[in-house]
Amino acid sequence: MHRLSRNVRDEYLSLVKKFPLTSIRGESELKQAQKVMDDILKMPRLKKGAVEYLDALSDLVMAYENTHHTIPAPSDADLLRHLMDARGISQSELHTATGIAVSTISEILSGRRRFSKDGIAKLSAYFKLDKGTFAANF
């Protein structure tokens, strides 16, 4: 069990009394929780009790959003384009670094081709990302 000092516990419990830490059951409760989090984050200096409370409340918000506000995986083209833009590299530079043909890279970026298993292995190694990042649409 996680123990809190008296001062931390008192601050934490005062926040719980204002907005109890219970499962979020709808959009109205979600908005209220987000407002409470925003208000806490506006405090000039967060004390340990507020940090503990904020951590717990953000877990509840995340659990609700993961269930009710899922974000679809980006297309292969969008993902590759984003990664290339973030690195500031061209198709030919990606080809040189990975050995993936420029024509294959171009086809992926245009949406005419999807990642292959071999391409996923090369891209995950180059961008230092888990293979699952590229395999979401596989």
For each of the chain's 138 residues, which pLDDT tens digit applies?
567 788 888 999 999 999 999 999 999 999 999 999 999 999 999 899 999 999 999 999 999 999 999 888 899 999 999 999 999 999 999 999 999 999 999 999 999 999 999 999 999 999 999 999 988 766
Count H helices and E strands in the chain, helices first: 8, 0
Count of domains observed in the chain:
2
**54 and 106 share a domain?**
no
Residue at which a domain ends, from 34, 68, 102: 68
Within 10 angstroms of residue 88's Cβ, the number of other Cβ atoms is 7
**62 and 19 share a domain?**
yes
In this structure, are residues 11 and 5 in contact, taking their beta carbons and an 8 Å threshold?
Answer: no
**39 and 19 share a domain?**
yes
Find the domain containing 128 and state its range.
76-134
**55 and 101 share a domain?**
no
What is the helix (H) or strand (E) element at residue 95, kind and residue range?
Answer: helix 91-98
